Amino acid sequence: MLDIKFVRENPEIVKQNIRNKFQDAKLPLVDEVIELDARNRAIKVEVEGLRADKKKAAKEIGMLMKAGKRDEAEAKKAESVRNDERIAELSEEEKDVEAAIKKIMMTIPNIIDPSVPIGRDDSENVEVQRYGEPVVPDFEIPYHTEIMEALNGIDLDAARRVAGNGFYYLMGDIARLHSAVIAYARDFMIGRGFTYCVPPFMIRSDVVTGVMSFAEMDAMMYKIEGEDLYLIGTSEHSMIGKFIDQMIPEAELPYTLTSYSPCFRKEKGAHGIEERGVYRIHQFEKQEMIVICKPEDSPMWFDKLWQNTVDLFRSMEIPVRTLECCSGDLADLKVKSIDVEAWSPRQKKYFEVGSCSNLGDAQARRLRIRVNGENGKYFAHTLNNTVVAPPRMLIAFLENHLQADGTVTIPEVLRPYMGGQTVLQKR
């Protein structure tokens, strides 16, 4: 969410940013919110004047009563009553105006970084760099669920009977591999100086609207019926929410946290054949990383965060690339975002396994996360990135480590978490 003062003083910058994100329908909102802001400030001035008049009148009424000028005193009292009525009327209008301002301000997108490429959607994202050599073996690679089934590692039919589409049972070595990757990712991030955390898996609505846009909320979040609670779509929601309404001493920054959680997502819409299996599902587990820092440090932390994911995947011998998200592919709160994509030998292309985002002070402004610094108080910057989300990682892992005989090799870094196993055998 932008500062209303910034919008008031830079309407053309805000409008051009909206155009850059190809959201022209939102352009009228800029003028509308500026008009509402002007009315809000006028209300405050009028109320302040009326309260000053009331205070002055109270003194005059006392003096008139002492002087025996009862009629004049009664007239002043009547005037004071009318002022009270007007103040009450204005106060109600002020609430409505401020609610309208907040609703619009939470809809106007954040100002994107100047380095972000301009484009309409993810088809115009820009490849930055590749890490590792993508290989296509000389044997056919089955679909990932077929690899898992050959290892007795998944039961989709039972999951459909129990919960419907979009769920799964992981079994045996595949279930163990899933947990091994989460444990390895946890230790990997701890080794990089991050503090491990297991957060609440449900959050209140004021946290939800603080960490994401309304469009994302509608598309992703499951609400608990009858309660002001939502299941988290990623632990970033809970982790950033941890600092709601906090005044952080500047000396304590940065906060660098890595968190484990299950994640729950509606995943609205049809996604095509390549997103069946465990690619898009309603429930999965994930290791996340978040940073809360000073504004001037957020670009540096942004680069560190996506590099962590690249390094993790390369340590598991999986080729990856980084992709700069274009303006039209950025969620409204994001300043800049880079996706990490893993190589799929079966599809002969890369697919997303993580996303790193710098949100500037957008989340901090919504959640009132402030820093008490040497030169005054200011809003913190927040960043987040996927360490690893095993369902998609499992696809990349199995395809890149599958052998011609149907076995799957285990890279050295995961063997301690797999009881020393070096290979997964067909059963």
Whether the pLDDT of residue 185 is over 70: the answer is: yes
The values of phi and psi at residue 169, to 5°, are -105, 120
Domain span(s) for CATH 1.10.287.40 in the chain = 4-105
Answer yes or no: are the C-beta atoms of 127 and 30 closer than 8 Å: no
The number of C-alpha atoms within 13 Å of 348 and in the hemisphere containing its C-beta is 4
Whether the pLDDT of residue 323 is over 90: the answer is: yes
The number of C-alpha atoms within 13 Å of 147 and in the hemisphere containing its C-beta is 27
In this prediction, residues 195-214 reach a mean pLDDT of 94
Predicted pLDDT at 268: 57
| Percent of the chain clearing pLDDT 70 (strictly above) | 98
Domain span(s) for CATH 3.30.930.10 in the chain = 122-424
Nearest to 367 by CA among 239, 182, 218: 239
| Distance in angstroms (rounded) separating the CA atoms of residues 399 and 395 | 6
pTM here is: 0.90
CATH of region 4-105 = 1.10.287.40
The values of phi and psi at residue 338, to 5°, are -125, 130
Whether the pLDDT of residue 20 is over 60: the answer is: yes
Assigned fold of 122-424 = BirA Bifunctional Protein; domain 2 (3.30.930)
Degrees, nearest 5: CA angle 9-15-17: 105
The values of phi and psi at residue 39, to 5°, are -65, -40
User: Tens digits of per-residue pLDDT, 278-296?
Assistant: 888 899 999 999 999 999 9
Sheet holding 349-358: strands in order across? Answer: 126-131, 320-324, 336-344, 349-358, 381-388, 283-293, 255-264, 195-197
Whether the pLDDT of residue 237 is over 70: the answer is: yes
| Distance in angstroms (rounded) separating the CA atoms of residues 136 and 402 | 11
Residue 121 tokens read as: 């959607």
